[in-house]
Amino acid sequence: MATTQLRKGVLELAILTLLEREELYGAELVETLRQHPGLAAPAGTVYPLLTRLTKAGTLDTRWQESPLGPPRKYYSLTAAGSTQRNTLAREWRELHNAMNTLLGNPS
């Protein structure tokens, strides 16, 4: 239902925000999301989103050797990704404020 669509939008904003702070590899990103209540998402949801964002030019990737196993693919924001994150954050704040007002909880 609508909850699923809302969650997908929130997940994209969360991923872009985390990657604005530092580059992360996929499993690290999944684990970081898991640490935030309400944002946990399975790898099967996160990796397709990372692929879509990379193809759209929102994210850059690089491979780095890992001492603990196979090489890791690290993700970081591009300039377009930073712009997209800022736009989504602004839209989120506007939506949040509008819903708080509608629900009788002005911020």
Domain segments of the chain: what residues? 4-103
Reported as a single tens digit per residue, the pLDDT across 27-73 is 999 999 999 988 999 999 999 999 999 999 999 999 999 998 999 99
This prediction has a pTM of: 0.89
CA distances from 68 to 22, 45, 80 (A): 21, 24, 32
**pLDDT band of 103, cuts 50, 70, 90:** very high
Its CATH architecture, for the domain 4-103, is Orthogonal Bundle (1.10)
Residue 8 has what pLDDT?
Answer: 79
Residue 1 has what pLDDT?
Answer: 38
Compute the distance between CA of residue 64 and CA of residue 42 in angstroms, rounded to an integer: 23
73 or 105, higher pLDDT: 73
* β strands within 33-91, DSSP E: 59-66, 69-77
Residue 106 has what pLDDT?
Answer: 66
Q: Tally Cβ neighbours within 10 Å of residue 1.
A: 5
